[in-house]
Amino acid sequence: MKYVLYTSHRNPDDFRPGVLCNDKIVDLEFLFDRFEIKPARYMSLRHLIEEGQSALSAVLVESEIEKLVPDSEFISLDQITLKAPLFNTKKLILLAGNYSEHIREVGYKVPPSPQSISPQFFSKPPSTTILDPNANIPLPDNAIWFDWEVELAVVMGVGGKNIKEDQAMDHVCGYTILNDISERKFNTEMPERFIREKDPLFDWLHGKWFDGSAPMGPYLVTKELIPDPHNLNISLERNGIVEQEGSTADMIHKIPYLIHKLSQIMTIEPGDVISTGTLSGVGYSKGIKLQSGDELICKIEKIGELRNVVL
C-alpha cells in the first residue's frame, strides 16, 4: 500500500493517516472502523508503525478497498495537503558517499570495494529539517552554495539492536523519497579564518542541518510493493532539467548491511528513517547553486514524485 499523512483544507491542524487508492485518499480511521481493526485513531504514521499495524497491506489491497469502500469516503487530492509521512520520526539518519560516481564528482577517491570502507552515517534534527511535499525550501540569508541530493529513504517497521544482515529486511516497513538539501561552503567566507584540523568535517556537517533541508514524501510505500529496492530508477529535475539520473543498484553499501551496521551503533526504533545516499549530478559538481524560485522534483520508481520550490 501507499500510506499518506494529510490534513484537510478545512482542518489544517488535524493530521490524519490515509491510504492512496487510484489517486484518491481513504482515511485510515474509516478503514479501521470498517474492518474492526483497533485502535481506530492514529495521529501519525509513526504511531501506526509502532502499534505493529504497518502491514495493513497484508489485510487490504487496493482492489479490495475499491470494492468495499463507498465512493463517498474517497477524498480527492485537491481537497487535502500532503504532509511528510514520517514528520515526527525519532531518528533521521543519512549516509554520505554511498554512490561511487558522486564520490568522484566531489573530488574524492572512489574506494576499491565495499569491504574496504565503512558507511559514513550522520543525522539531521528531524523536528526542524523535515519538510512536507510541495512546501517551500527556505533559502537562508547566509547560504553560499545550497545544493540538492535525491535519495531513497528506508522506513523501519520493527526495531532492534545488533540486527543480523540476513534478517535486516524483516525490520523494514517501507520506503519514501528524501531530498538531502546541503550547504556546500558553510563558513568558507569567514575573513581571516583560522582553520583547525577538524573544521572541514564540521563545516560539511553543519551544512546539513539547515531548517527545512530534508523534504520528504509524498508517500510511505510498503515493502510489498518494492520487492527489490536496489533496482529502482531515481532522478532529480531542476526547473524541468534532469540533473541526477541513475539506479539504486549503484549503491556501494546495500540496505541490509546499512541496517546491520547502524544497529551495532544505536538501537533501531519503529518509524526511524535511514536515507541511503545520493547519486552523481549534484549542483556543486556542475557549478550550479540553488536560487530562489528553483523547482526541484525528485522521482523514484514505484514511489512517486517529491516536489518542492526554493524560496
| Neighbouring C-beta atoms of residue 142, cutoff 10 Å | 9
Percent of the chain with pLDDT over 70: 94
Whose CA is closest to 3, among 35, 40, 22, 28?
A: 28
Rounded Cα gap, residues 18 and 30, in angstroms: 9
Question: CA angle 207-209-212, nearest 5°?
Answer: 115
The pLDDT assigned to 65 comes to 81
Check if the beta carbon of residue 184 is closer than 8 Å to that of residue 147.
yes
Rounded Cα gap, residues 45 and 88, in angstroms: 9
The pLDDT assigned to 37 comes to 63
In order along the chain (311 residues), what is the average pLDDT of each group of 10 residues?
A: 93 92 89 67 84 56 78 94 98 97 94 95 98 98 96 97 98 97 92 93 96 98 95 98 98 98 98 98 97 98 98 97
Q: Report the C-alpha dihedral over residues 253, 111, 214, 244, rounded to 10 degrees.
A: -100
The CATH classification of domain 92-310, taken from the options 3.90.850.10, 3.20.20.60, 3.40.50.1970, 3.40.50.300: 3.90.850.10
**Strand pairing report for 150-156 and 172-179:** antiparallel
Cell numbers 554512490 label which residue?
99
The tens digit of pLDDT for each residue in 96-124 reads 999 999 999 999 999 999 999 999 999 99
Please tell me the pTM assigned to this model: 0.95
Where along the chain do the CATH 2.30.30.230 domains lie? 2-83
Where along the chain do the CATH 3.90.850.10 domains lie? 92-310
Check if the beta carbon of residue 97 is closer than 8 Å to that of residue 108.
yes
The pLDDT assigned to 218 comes to 98
The pLDDT assigned to 56 comes to 53
The CATH classification of domain 2-83, taken from the options 2.30.30.230, 2.60.40.10, 3.40.50.2300, 3.90.1150.10: 2.30.30.230
277 torsion bin: left (phi>0), alpha (psi -120 to 50), beta (else):
left
